[in-house]
Protein backbone atom coordinates (compact mmCIF):
# COMPACT_ATOMS: atom_id res chain seq x y z
CA UNK A 1 0.00 0.00 0.00
CA UNK A 2 1.43 3.37 -1.05
CA UNK A 3 2.23 5.91 1.63
CA UNK A 4 -0.20 8.83 1.76
CA UNK A 5 1.16 12.21 0.54
CA UNK A 6 0.39 13.78 3.93
CA UNK A 7 2.83 11.33 5.53
CA UNK A 8 5.51 12.39 3.05
CA UNK A 9 4.83 16.07 3.79
CA UNK A 10 5.04 15.41 7.53
CA UNK A 11 8.39 13.65 7.15
CA UNK A 12 9.74 16.41 4.93
CA UNK A 13 8.68 19.05 7.45
CA UNK A 14 10.43 17.20 10.28
CA UNK A 15 13.59 16.79 8.23
CA UNK A 16 13.30 20.31 6.90
CA UNK A 17 13.10 21.71 10.41
CA UNK A 18 16.33 19.94 11.34
CA UNK A 19 18.01 21.26 8.20
CA UNK A 20 16.72 24.76 8.95
CA UNK A 21 18.08 24.71 12.50
CA UNK A 22 21.53 24.09 11.01
CA UNK A 23 21.12 26.81 8.35
CA UNK A 24 21.11 24.22 5.56
CA UNK A 25 18.04 25.66 3.78
CA UNK A 26 19.36 29.20 3.41
CA UNK A 27 20.72 28.57 -0.08
CA UNK A 28 17.38 27.16 -1.28
CA UNK A 29 15.53 30.22 0.02
CA UNK A 30 17.91 32.69 -1.62
CA UNK A 31 18.37 30.96 -4.98
CA UNK A 32 16.21 32.79 -7.57
CA UNK A 33 15.90 29.55 -9.55
CA UNK A 34 14.19 27.73 -6.66
CA UNK A 35 10.47 27.25 -7.43
CA UNK A 36 8.23 29.39 -5.26
CA UNK A 37 6.46 26.42 -3.54
CA UNK A 38 9.82 24.93 -2.50
CA UNK A 39 11.00 28.31 -1.22
CA UNK A 40 7.81 28.71 0.82
CA UNK A 41 8.21 25.23 2.32
CA UNK A 42 11.80 26.10 3.33
CA UNK A 43 10.60 29.26 5.05
CA UNK A 44 7.87 27.38 6.89
CA UNK A 45 10.42 24.80 8.05
CA UNK A 46 12.58 27.41 9.78
CA UNK A 47 9.64 29.18 11.46
CA UNK A 48 10.71 29.97 15.04
CA UNK A 49 14.14 28.33 14.67
CA UNK A 50 17.46 29.96 15.50
CA UNK A 51 19.36 29.76 12.23
CA UNK A 52 23.19 29.92 12.47
CA UNK A 53 25.15 32.36 10.31
CA UNK A 54 27.26 29.59 8.73
CA UNK A 55 25.34 26.56 7.42
CA UNK A 56 26.41 23.19 8.84
CA UNK A 57 25.17 20.82 6.16
CA UNK A 58 26.97 17.68 7.33
CA UNK A 59 25.87 18.21 10.94
CA UNK A 60 22.25 18.57 9.78
CA UNK A 61 22.24 15.27 7.89
CA UNK A 62 23.93 13.51 10.82
CA UNK A 63 21.20 14.85 13.14
CA UNK A 64 18.42 13.47 10.91
CA UNK A 65 19.77 9.91 10.94
CA UNK A 66 21.46 7.08 9.02
CA UNK A 67 19.45 7.32 5.79
CA UNK A 68 20.05 11.06 5.63
CA UNK A 69 23.79 10.55 6.13
CA UNK A 70 23.91 8.28 3.11
CA UNK A 71 21.75 10.65 1.09
CA UNK A 72 24.06 13.50 2.08
CA UNK A 73 26.98 11.52 0.71
CA UNK A 74 25.08 11.20 -2.58
CA UNK A 75 24.42 14.95 -2.68
CA UNK A 76 28.13 15.57 -2.09
CA UNK A 77 28.62 14.33 -5.68
CA UNK A 78 26.23 17.00 -7.00
CA UNK A 79 27.72 20.49 -6.52
CA UNK A 80 25.64 21.55 -9.52
CA UNK A 81 22.52 20.70 -7.52
CA UNK A 82 23.36 21.76 -3.94
CA UNK A 83 26.13 24.30 -4.57
CA UNK A 84 29.88 24.03 -4.16
CA UNK A 85 29.96 25.07 -0.48
CA UNK A 86 27.30 22.53 0.51
CA UNK A 87 28.94 19.74 -1.52
CA UNK A 88 32.32 20.43 0.10
CA UNK A 89 30.83 20.38 3.59
CA UNK A 90 28.82 17.22 2.90
CA UNK A 91 32.04 15.41 2.02
CA UNK A 92 32.76 15.51 5.77
CA UNK A 93 30.11 12.84 6.32
CA UNK A 94 32.07 9.82 7.50
CA UNK A 95 29.27 7.66 8.93
CA UNK A 96 30.47 7.77 12.56
CA UNK A 97 27.50 6.71 14.71
CA UNK A 98 26.97 5.17 18.17
CA UNK A 99 27.31 1.37 17.91
CA UNK A 100 24.48 -1.14 18.23
CA UNK A 101 24.77 -3.31 21.41
CA UNK A 102 26.72 -6.49 20.69
CA UNK A 103 23.87 -8.79 21.77
CA UNK A 104 21.76 -7.45 18.87
CA UNK A 105 24.72 -7.83 16.50
CA UNK A 106 25.34 -11.41 17.62
CA UNK A 107 21.66 -12.28 17.10
CA UNK A 108 21.80 -10.72 13.62
CA UNK A 109 24.88 -12.80 12.74
CA UNK A 110 23.32 -16.04 13.99
CA UNK A 111 20.08 -15.49 12.06
CA UNK A 112 21.83 -14.44 8.86
CA UNK A 113 24.59 -17.07 8.75
CA UNK A 114 22.24 -19.87 9.85
CA UNK A 115 24.84 -21.45 12.13
CA UNK A 116 25.96 -21.06 15.74
CA UNK A 117 28.52 -18.26 15.85
CA UNK A 118 30.84 -20.34 18.01
CA UNK A 119 31.17 -22.88 15.20
CA UNK A 120 32.48 -20.20 12.82
CA UNK A 121 34.48 -17.89 15.07
CA UNK A 122 36.84 -18.62 17.94
CA UNK A 123 36.31 -15.12 19.28
CA UNK A 124 34.67 -11.79 18.37
CA UNK A 125 35.58 -8.49 19.99
CA UNK A 126 32.28 -7.04 21.30
CA UNK A 127 33.64 -3.48 20.86
CA UNK A 128 33.36 -2.45 17.20
CA UNK A 129 36.31 -0.90 15.40
CA UNK A 130 33.87 1.26 13.44
CA UNK A 131 30.14 2.02 13.40
CA UNK A 132 28.51 3.53 10.32
CA UNK A 133 24.98 4.35 9.20
CA UNK A 134 24.35 0.94 7.63
CA UNK A 135 26.67 -1.47 9.43
CA UNK A 136 29.39 -1.81 12.03
CA UNK A 137 32.65 -3.76 12.00
CA UNK A 138 34.10 -6.09 14.65
CA UNK A 139 37.50 -7.74 14.82
CA UNK A 140 37.30 -11.52 15.13
CA UNK A 141 39.30 -14.74 14.93
CA UNK A 142 37.91 -17.58 12.83
CA UNK A 143 37.64 -21.16 14.05
CA UNK A 144 40.72 -21.97 11.95
CA UNK A 145 42.79 -19.18 13.54
CA UNK A 146 42.67 -16.33 10.99
CA UNK A 147 42.12 -12.73 12.10
CA UNK A 148 39.25 -11.16 10.15
CA UNK A 149 37.00 -8.12 10.06
CA UNK A 150 33.27 -8.87 10.36
CA UNK A 151 30.85 -6.27 8.99
CA UNK A 152 27.25 -6.65 10.20
CA UNK A 153 24.16 -4.71 9.09
CA UNK A 154 22.39 -2.71 11.79
CA UNK A 155 19.13 -4.50 12.70
CA UNK A 156 16.12 -2.82 11.10
CA UNK A 157 18.18 -0.60 8.81
CA UNK A 158 16.48 -1.92 5.64
CA UNK A 159 13.03 -0.72 6.76
CA UNK A 160 14.36 2.68 7.80
CA UNK A 161 16.01 3.21 4.42
CA UNK A 162 12.93 2.00 2.53
CA UNK A 163 10.72 4.59 4.26
CA UNK A 164 13.19 7.40 3.67
CA UNK A 165 13.79 6.57 0.00
CA UNK A 166 10.05 6.42 -0.67
CA UNK A 167 9.69 9.97 0.63
CA UNK A 168 12.77 11.16 -1.29
CA UNK A 169 11.24 9.74 -4.49
CA UNK A 170 7.91 11.44 -3.80
CA UNK A 171 9.52 14.82 -3.10
CA UNK A 172 11.80 14.61 -6.16
CA UNK A 173 8.81 13.86 -8.41
CA UNK A 174 6.91 16.90 -7.09
CA UNK A 175 9.90 19.19 -7.61
CA UNK A 176 10.83 17.87 -11.06
CA UNK A 177 7.25 18.33 -12.25
CA UNK A 178 7.65 22.07 -11.64
CA UNK A 179 10.02 22.22 -14.62
CA UNK A 180 12.73 24.80 -15.19
CA UNK A 181 16.22 24.49 -13.80
CA UNK A 182 15.30 21.74 -11.32
CA UNK A 183 13.97 19.56 -14.13
CA UNK A 184 17.30 19.95 -15.97
CA UNK A 185 19.14 18.77 -12.85
CA UNK A 186 16.95 15.63 -12.73
CA UNK A 187 16.40 15.21 -8.98
CA UNK A 188 14.48 11.97 -9.54
CA UNK A 189 17.57 10.48 -11.11
CA UNK A 190 19.61 11.62 -8.08
CA UNK A 191 17.26 9.69 -5.80
CA UNK A 192 17.32 6.68 -8.12
CA UNK A 193 21.13 6.70 -8.01
CA UNK A 194 20.95 6.83 -4.22
CA UNK A 195 18.46 3.94 -4.16
CA UNK A 196 20.80 1.80 -6.25
CA UNK A 197 23.76 2.63 -4.04
CA UNK A 198 21.91 1.63 -0.90
CA UNK A 199 20.54 -1.55 -2.51
CA UNK A 200 24.15 -2.61 -3.05
CA UNK A 201 25.21 -1.62 0.46
CA UNK A 202 22.24 -3.33 2.12
CA UNK A 203 23.25 -6.66 0.55
CA UNK A 204 26.74 -7.37 1.87
CA UNK A 205 27.20 -10.20 -0.62
CA UNK A 206 27.18 -7.59 -3.37
CA UNK A 207 29.78 -5.55 -1.52
CA UNK A 208 31.92 -8.68 -1.23
CA UNK A 209 31.49 -9.31 -4.95
CA UNK A 210 32.60 -5.74 -5.69
CA UNK A 211 35.73 -6.25 -3.59
CA UNK A 212 36.49 -9.50 -5.38
CA UNK A 213 36.01 -7.90 -8.81
CA UNK A 214 38.22 -4.95 -7.89
CA UNK A 215 40.96 -7.27 -6.64
CA UNK A 216 40.98 -9.11 -9.97
CA UNK A 217 41.03 -5.86 -11.94
CA UNK A 218 43.95 -4.46 -9.92
CA UNK A 219 46.25 -7.49 -10.07
CA UNK A 220 48.48 -5.57 -12.49
CA UNK A 221 48.87 -2.64 -10.07
CA UNK A 222 51.84 -3.36 -7.76
CA UNK A 223 51.46 -2.58 -4.09
CA UNK A 224 47.66 -2.16 -4.18
CA UNK A 225 45.88 -4.45 -1.71
CA UNK A 226 42.20 -5.42 -1.58
CA UNK A 227 41.27 -7.67 1.39
CA UNK A 228 40.19 -11.22 0.52
CA UNK A 229 36.56 -12.19 1.18
CA UNK A 230 35.72 -15.17 3.41
CA UNK A 231 32.67 -16.37 1.50
CA UNK A 232 31.95 -19.20 3.96
CA UNK A 233 31.29 -16.58 6.66
CA UNK A 234 29.46 -14.09 4.45
CA UNK A 235 25.73 -13.62 3.86
CA UNK A 236 23.37 -10.82 2.90
CA UNK A 237 23.77 -9.21 6.33
CA UNK A 238 27.26 -10.35 7.33
CA UNK A 239 30.52 -9.73 5.43
CA UNK A 240 33.73 -11.37 6.63
CA UNK A 241 37.01 -10.29 5.08
CA UNK A 242 40.74 -10.39 5.68
CA UNK A 243 42.00 -8.18 8.53
CA UNK A 244 44.61 -5.65 7.42
CA UNK A 245 47.07 -4.10 9.88
CA UNK A 246 47.93 -0.68 8.56
CA UNK A 247 48.06 3.06 9.22
CA UNK A 248 45.32 5.37 7.97
CA UNK A 249 46.50 7.78 5.29
CA UNK A 250 45.02 10.60 7.36
CA UNK A 251 47.83 10.17 9.95
CA UNK A 252 50.80 11.59 8.04
CA UNK A 253 53.01 11.81 11.13
CA UNK A 254 52.46 8.11 11.94
CA UNK A 255 53.18 7.19 8.33
CA UNK A 256 56.54 8.96 8.43
CA UNK A 257 57.38 7.51 11.85
CA UNK A 258 56.71 4.01 10.49
CA UNK A 259 59.09 4.58 7.59
CA UNK A 260 56.52 5.13 4.82
CA UNK A 261 57.17 7.58 1.98
CA UNK A 262 54.07 9.84 1.78
CA UNK A 263 55.00 11.10 -1.70
CA UNK A 264 55.26 7.55 -3.03
CA UNK A 265 51.93 6.64 -1.43
CA UNK A 266 50.34 9.67 -3.07
CA UNK A 267 51.61 8.61 -6.50
CA UNK A 268 50.41 5.04 -5.91
CA UNK A 269 46.97 6.34 -4.98
CA UNK A 270 46.67 8.46 -8.14
CA UNK A 271 47.97 5.63 -10.34
CA UNK A 272 45.57 3.11 -8.77
CA UNK A 273 42.59 5.41 -9.25
CA UNK A 274 43.46 6.12 -12.90
CA UNK A 275 43.82 2.41 -13.63
CA UNK A 276 40.43 1.72 -12.08
CA UNK A 277 38.59 4.61 -13.75
CA UNK A 278 40.17 4.69 -17.21
CA UNK A 279 41.69 1.26 -17.85
CA UNK A 280 39.15 -0.93 -16.02
CA UNK A 281 36.00 1.19 -15.91
CA UNK A 282 35.23 -0.06 -12.38
CA UNK A 283 36.38 2.14 -9.52
CA UNK A 284 36.16 2.53 -5.77
CA UNK A 285 34.03 5.65 -5.38
CA UNK A 286 34.54 6.32 -1.66
CA UNK A 287 38.30 6.92 -1.42
CA UNK A 288 38.31 9.13 1.64
CA UNK A 289 41.17 8.90 4.13
CA UNK A 290 39.26 6.65 6.50
CA UNK A 291 39.08 3.92 3.83
CA UNK A 292 42.74 4.01 2.83
CA UNK A 293 45.67 2.43 4.71
CA UNK A 294 49.40 2.09 4.30
CA UNK A 295 50.75 -1.43 4.85
CA UNK A 296 54.30 -2.63 5.29
CA UNK A 297 56.46 -2.28 2.19
CA UNK A 298 54.81 1.03 1.29
CA UNK A 299 51.76 -0.84 -0.02
CA UNK A 300 48.37 0.83 -0.28
CA UNK A 301 45.19 -0.88 0.95
CA UNK A 302 41.54 0.05 0.50
CA UNK A 303 38.41 -1.05 2.37
CA UNK A 304 34.62 -0.43 2.23
CA UNK A 305 33.29 -1.36 -1.20
CA UNK A 306 29.69 -0.26 -0.78
CA UNK A 307 29.94 2.62 -3.29
CA UNK A 308 31.49 1.59 -6.59
CA UNK A 309 31.37 3.34 -9.96
CA UNK A 310 31.26 1.84 -13.42
CA UNK A 311 31.64 3.44 -16.87
CA UNK A 312 31.74 1.68 -20.23
CA UNK A 313 34.70 1.72 -22.63
CA UNK A 314 33.25 4.38 -24.91
CA UNK A 315 32.75 6.79 -22.01
CA UNK A 316 36.26 5.97 -20.73
CA UNK A 317 37.76 6.90 -24.09
CA UNK A 318 35.90 10.20 -24.02
CA UNK A 319 36.97 10.76 -20.41
CA UNK A 320 40.63 10.14 -21.24
CA UNK A 321 40.45 12.48 -24.22
CA UNK A 322 38.76 15.18 -22.13
CA UNK A 323 41.42 14.94 -19.42
CA UNK A 324 44.25 14.94 -21.93
CA UNK A 325 42.70 17.82 -23.85
CA UNK A 326 42.50 19.91 -20.68
CA UNK A 327 46.07 18.96 -19.74
CA UNK A 328 47.41 19.98 -23.17
CA UNK A 329 45.10 22.95 -23.72
CA UNK A 330 43.31 21.44 -26.75
CA UNK A 331 39.95 22.98 -25.85
CA UNK A 332 38.49 22.54 -29.33
CA UNK A 333 38.87 18.76 -29.08
CA UNK A 334 37.39 18.72 -25.56
CA UNK A 335 34.39 20.68 -26.86
CA UNK A 336 33.94 18.29 -29.80
CA UNK A 337 33.98 15.31 -27.41
CA UNK A 338 31.17 16.85 -25.36
CA UNK A 339 29.06 17.23 -28.51
CA UNK A 340 29.92 13.73 -29.79
CA UNK A 341 28.94 12.23 -26.42
CA UNK A 342 25.63 14.07 -26.45
CA UNK A 343 26.45 15.94 -23.24
CA UNK A 344 25.80 19.31 -24.94
CA UNK A 345 22.66 19.68 -27.12
CA UNK A 346 23.47 20.09 -30.83
CA UNK A 347 21.81 23.52 -31.12
CA UNK A 348 24.81 25.05 -29.32
CA UNK A 349 27.98 26.12 -31.09
CA UNK A 350 31.13 24.02 -30.68
CA UNK A 351 33.41 27.05 -30.94
CA UNK A 352 31.49 28.91 -28.24
CA UNK A 353 31.70 25.92 -25.93
CA UNK A 354 35.45 25.64 -26.62
CA UNK A 355 35.84 29.30 -25.62
CA UNK A 356 33.95 28.66 -22.35
CA UNK A 357 36.27 25.73 -21.64
CA UNK A 358 39.28 27.92 -22.37
CA UNK A 359 38.02 30.44 -19.80
CA UNK A 360 38.09 27.62 -17.23
CA UNK A 361 41.37 26.02 -18.27
CA UNK A 362 43.70 28.89 -19.10
CA UNK A 363 43.76 30.50 -15.63
CA UNK A 364 44.89 27.13 -14.27
CA UNK A 365 47.63 26.84 -16.85
CA UNK A 366 49.10 30.16 -15.75
CA UNK A 367 49.55 29.00 -12.15
CA UNK A 368 52.68 27.39 -10.69
CA UNK A 369 52.59 23.64 -11.25
CA UNK A 370 51.83 22.61 -7.67
CA UNK A 371 48.95 25.08 -7.39
CA UNK A 372 46.99 23.62 -10.30
CA UNK A 373 43.93 21.70 -9.13
CA UNK A 374 41.61 19.17 -10.72
CA UNK A 375 39.03 20.15 -8.10
CA UNK A 376 39.13 23.80 -9.20
CA UNK A 377 38.97 22.73 -12.84
CA UNK A 378 35.86 20.61 -12.22
CA UNK A 379 34.20 23.45 -10.29
CA UNK A 380 34.69 25.62 -13.36
CA UNK A 381 33.22 22.96 -15.63
CA UNK A 382 30.13 22.70 -13.41
CA UNK A 383 29.68 26.46 -13.68
CA UNK A 384 29.25 26.37 -17.48
CA UNK A 385 26.81 23.44 -17.64
CA UNK A 386 23.79 25.70 -17.13
CA UNK A 387 24.73 28.06 -19.97
CA UNK A 388 24.94 25.16 -22.41
CA UNK A 389 21.85 23.19 -21.25
CA UNK A 390 23.94 20.18 -20.26
CA UNK A 391 21.90 17.50 -18.52
CA UNK A 392 23.66 15.98 -15.55
CA UNK A 393 25.40 12.63 -16.07
CA UNK A 394 25.36 10.73 -12.74
CA UNK A 395 28.00 8.19 -13.85
CA UNK A 396 30.45 11.02 -14.58
CA UNK A 397 29.49 13.08 -11.53
CA UNK A 398 30.40 10.16 -9.28
CA UNK A 399 33.72 9.87 -11.06
CA UNK A 400 34.38 13.60 -10.76
CA UNK A 401 33.59 13.54 -7.05
CA UNK A 402 36.03 10.66 -6.60
CA UNK A 403 38.72 12.53 -8.54
CA UNK A 404 38.37 15.50 -6.19
CA UNK A 405 38.51 13.17 -3.18
CA UNK A 406 41.63 11.39 -4.47
CA UNK A 407 43.32 14.70 -5.16
CA UNK A 408 42.57 15.85 -1.61
CA UNK A 409 44.06 12.70 -0.05
CA UNK A 410 47.09 12.79 -2.36
CA UNK A 411 47.73 16.48 -1.63
CA UNK A 412 47.53 15.85 2.13
CA UNK A 413 50.21 13.17 1.71
CA UNK A 414 52.40 15.23 -0.63
CA UNK A 415 51.60 18.97 -0.81
CA UNK A 416 53.82 19.29 -3.89
CA UNK A 417 52.09 16.62 -5.97
CA UNK A 418 50.39 17.77 -9.15
CA UNK A 419 47.55 15.60 -10.36
CA UNK A 420 47.96 16.85 -13.93
CA UNK A 421 51.63 15.88 -14.13
CA UNK A 422 51.01 12.55 -12.41
CA UNK A 423 48.03 11.71 -14.63
CA UNK A 424 49.40 12.85 -17.99
CA UNK A 425 51.78 9.89 -18.70
CA UNK A 426 49.14 7.30 -17.79
CA UNK A 427 46.41 9.01 -19.82
CA UNK A 428 48.74 9.58 -22.79
CA UNK A 429 49.82 5.92 -22.86
CA UNK A 430 46.27 4.64 -22.49
CA UNK A 431 45.04 6.84 -25.33
CA UNK A 432 47.93 5.67 -27.54
CA UNK A 433 47.18 2.03 -26.71
CA UNK A 434 43.41 2.27 -27.05
CA UNK A 435 43.20 4.73 -29.96
CA UNK A 436 46.41 3.96 -31.89
CA UNK A 437 46.36 2.42 -35.39
CA UNK A 438 46.68 -1.18 -34.16
CA UNK A 439 43.83 -0.75 -31.72
CA UNK A 440 41.73 0.97 -34.36
CA UNK A 441 42.16 -1.90 -36.84
CA UNK A 442 41.46 -4.56 -34.18
CA UNK A 443 38.36 -2.73 -32.95
CA UNK A 444 37.10 -2.27 -36.49
CA UNK A 445 37.40 -5.98 -37.29
CA UNK A 446 35.64 -7.03 -34.10
CA UNK A 447 32.93 -4.43 -34.57
CA UNK A 448 32.27 -5.36 -38.21
CA UNK A 449 32.04 -9.10 -37.44
CA UNK A 450 29.64 -8.49 -34.58
CA UNK A 451 27.54 -6.12 -36.67
CA UNK A 452 27.30 -8.64 -39.51
CA UNK A 453 26.21 -11.37 -37.10
CA UNK A 454 23.45 -9.14 -35.73
CA UNK A 455 22.40 -7.60 -39.03
CA UNK A 456 18.80 -8.93 -39.11
CA UNK A 457 18.19 -7.73 -35.57
CA UNK A 458 19.83 -4.37 -36.26
CA UNK A 459 17.60 -3.76 -39.27
CA UNK A 460 14.46 -4.39 -37.20
CA UNK A 461 15.50 -2.53 -34.07
CA UNK A 462 18.02 0.12 -35.03
CA UNK A 463 15.73 3.04 -34.19
CA UNK A 464 14.89 1.75 -30.74
CA UNK A 465 18.25 0.30 -29.78
CA UNK A 466 20.57 3.01 -31.13
CA UNK A 467 18.81 6.36 -30.78
CA UNK A 468 21.98 8.49 -30.88
CA UNK A 469 25.73 8.70 -30.33
CA UNK A 470 25.54 9.85 -26.70
CA UNK A 471 28.10 8.49 -24.27
CA UNK A 472 25.83 8.47 -21.24
CA UNK A 473 24.09 5.21 -20.34
CA UNK A 474 20.30 5.24 -20.62
CA UNK A 475 18.56 6.51 -17.50
CA UNK A 476 17.04 3.75 -15.36
CA UNK A 477 13.25 3.46 -15.18
CA UNK A 478 11.78 5.64 -12.45
CA UNK A 479 8.76 4.68 -10.34
CA UNK A 480 5.34 6.18 -11.03
CA UNK A 481 4.54 8.70 -8.31
CA UNK A 482 1.28 10.56 -7.80
CA UNK A 483 1.79 14.31 -8.10
CA UNK A 484 0.12 16.79 -5.76
CA UNK A 485 -2.26 18.91 -7.82
CA UNK A 486 -2.87 22.61 -7.28
CA UNK A 487 -6.53 22.11 -6.44
CA UNK A 488 -5.67 20.13 -3.34
CA UNK A 489 -2.63 22.15 -2.40
CA UNK A 490 -4.35 23.95 0.50
CA UNK A 491 -4.55 20.69 2.44
CA UNK A 492 -0.81 20.12 2.30
CA UNK A 493 -0.09 23.76 3.06
CA UNK A 494 -2.27 23.42 6.16
CA UNK A 495 -0.45 20.29 7.23
CA UNK A 496 2.88 22.03 6.64
CA UNK A 497 1.86 25.04 8.75
CA UNK A 498 0.61 22.83 11.58
CA UNK A 499 3.81 20.77 11.45
CA UNK A 500 5.95 23.89 11.55
CA UNK A 501 3.94 25.32 14.46
CA UNK A 502 4.24 22.04 16.37
CA UNK A 503 7.97 21.95 15.72
CA UNK A 504 8.37 25.54 16.85
CA UNK A 505 6.41 24.84 20.03
CA UNK A 506 8.52 21.78 20.77
CA UNK A 507 11.68 23.79 20.22
CA UNK A 508 10.46 26.49 22.60
CA UNK A 509 9.58 23.95 25.28
CA UNK A 510 12.88 22.13 25.00
CA UNK A 511 15.02 25.24 24.52
**Residues identified as active-site:** 286
For residue 395, count other CB atoms closer than 10 A to its CB: 15
With b for 16 or more beta-carbon neighbours within 10 A and e for fewer, the 276-303 pattern comes to: bbbbbbbbbbbbbbbbbbbeeebbbbbb
Rounded-to-integer distance, Cα 52 and Cα 48, Å? 13
What contacts 467, CB < 8 A, 6 or more positions away?
none
What contacts 146, CB < 8 A, 6 or more positions away?
230, 242, 243
In SS3 terms, 6-71 reads as HHHHHHHHHHHHHHHHCCCCHHHHHCCCCCHHHHHHHHHHCCCCCCCCCCCHHHHHHHHCHHHHHH
Rounded-to-integer distance, Cα 140 and Cα 136, Å? 13
DSSP 8-state symbol, 224: E
Indicate the angle between helix axes 394-413 and 187-201, nearest 10 degrees.
60
Rounded-to-integer distance, Cα 271 and Cα 284, Å? 13
Burial class (CB in 10 A: 0-12, 13-18, 19+), 415: exposed
Burial class (CB in 10 A: 0-12, 13-18, 19+), 416: exposed
CB 15 within 8 A of CB 68: yes
Query: What spatial distance separates the first Cα and last Cα of the chain, rounded to whole Å?
Result: 38
DSSP 8-state symbol, 229: B
Indicate the angle between helix axes 437-453 and 419-435, nearest 10 degrees.
50
Q: In 3D, which of 281, 338, 277 has the Cα closest to residue 470?
A: 338
Amino acid sequence: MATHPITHVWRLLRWGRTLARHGALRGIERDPLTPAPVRRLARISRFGARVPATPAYADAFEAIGPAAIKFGQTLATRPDLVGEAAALDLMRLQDALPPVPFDAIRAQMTASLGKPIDSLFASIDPEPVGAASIAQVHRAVTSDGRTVAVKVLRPGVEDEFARAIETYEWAAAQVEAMGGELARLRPRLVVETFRRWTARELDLRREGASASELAEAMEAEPGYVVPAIDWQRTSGKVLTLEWLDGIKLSDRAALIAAGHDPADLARRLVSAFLRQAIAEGFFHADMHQGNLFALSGNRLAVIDFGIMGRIDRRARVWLAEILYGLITGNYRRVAEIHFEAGYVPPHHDVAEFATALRAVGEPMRGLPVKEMSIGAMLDGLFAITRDFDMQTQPHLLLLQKTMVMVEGVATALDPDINMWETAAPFVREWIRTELGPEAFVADRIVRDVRTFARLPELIRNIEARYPGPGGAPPAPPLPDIQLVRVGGGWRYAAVALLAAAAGAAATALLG
